[in-house]
Amino acid sequence: MSPTKSDHKTDQYRRKFLAQSAAVAGLSIAPGIVLNQVAHAKADSDKASDTNRWGMLIDTNKCSKGCTDCVTACQDENGWGTGETHSSKEQQAQWIRKVTITDKQTGHVQSLPLMCQHCETAPCVDVCPTGASMQRKDGIVQVDKHICIGCRYCMMACPYKARSFIHEKLELQKATAPRGIGTVESCNMCAHRVDKDQNPACVEACSKAEHGAMIFGDLKDANSAISIELKKHGGEQIRADLGLNTGVRYQGL
């Protein structure tokens, strides 16, 4: 395996060089025109890097009240929502859900998708006794089911109730989203799609439905659409008081 390792290194250098030249080219296409984002094109052999921090910005004013397209898209992408025939509704997996909140004083009703908030200092990662609940270098929080023992401490620790436990034997899982009995699972921001430079399934569905309430992007890249929007209009964290520095931010709360 050593030759592949060294190839890998060389490739990395090459890619870095290409990326840098691409960045220069991207910035100087024409005077006055600055590209928001140069496609960074992560190669399959590249590791998730701490030069990125993936995040999401959700505009609750754009989020349509009856619409559950993001939930359905997540189910289709990751294969949850069916197959748990012996579990009660409370037990069944839920990676993302639509929440409706009403302001009692004004009667203002808001609708928003709620999922793992991909905290920087994630309580689920903190409490995990095996290291299964983990954060990738690019900020994505997920469960390594290979070493998850199903103790569910993380479910207790999560302030957003974002995690589910699988109570029964599953089969015919998606190749990109293995899930099974005795392990905890949650939104992983579609890590398999992110690694291919695609948007998470929910974000894609939201823009497909022409709501455009969800933006996905790199919080560390000042020129990404999400960073520009956050700089311009700001974004709130749910339970900001906990100081978790979530990767998922909301507008209009």
**Interface map 4-33 toward other proteins (x if CB under 8 A):** x-----------------------------
**Continuous segment of H or E residues that includes residue 202:** helix 201-208
* Binding of other proteins by 46 (CB under 8 A): yes
**Residue 193 interacts with other proteins (CB under 8 A)?**
no
Least Cα distance to 179 among 77, 78, 38, 31 occurs for: 78
**Strand ranges in the chain using DSSP code E only, listed in sequence order:** 54-59, 96-102, 109-115, 133-135, 141-143, 164-165, 184-185, 214-218, 248-251
44 binds other proteins (CB under 8 A): yes
Among 30, 33, 172, 222, binds other proteins (CB under 8 A): 172
CA atoms of 176 and 135, how far apart (whole Å): 18
Shortest Cβ 192–other proteins spacing (Å): 7
The HSE-up count of residue 134 (CA atoms within 13 Å, CB side) is 13
Instruction: Establish if 145 lies at the interface with other proteins (CB under 8 A).
Output: yes
Q: Is 180 in the site for other proteins (CB under 8 A)?
A: yes
Q: Does 217 bind other proteins (CB under 8 A)?
A: no
**Structure-block tokens of residue 20:** 């840098």
Binding residues vs other proteins (CB under 8 A): 4, 42, 44-48, 75, 81-83, 85, 134, 136-138, 142, 144-146, 169-175, 178-183, 191-192, 194-196
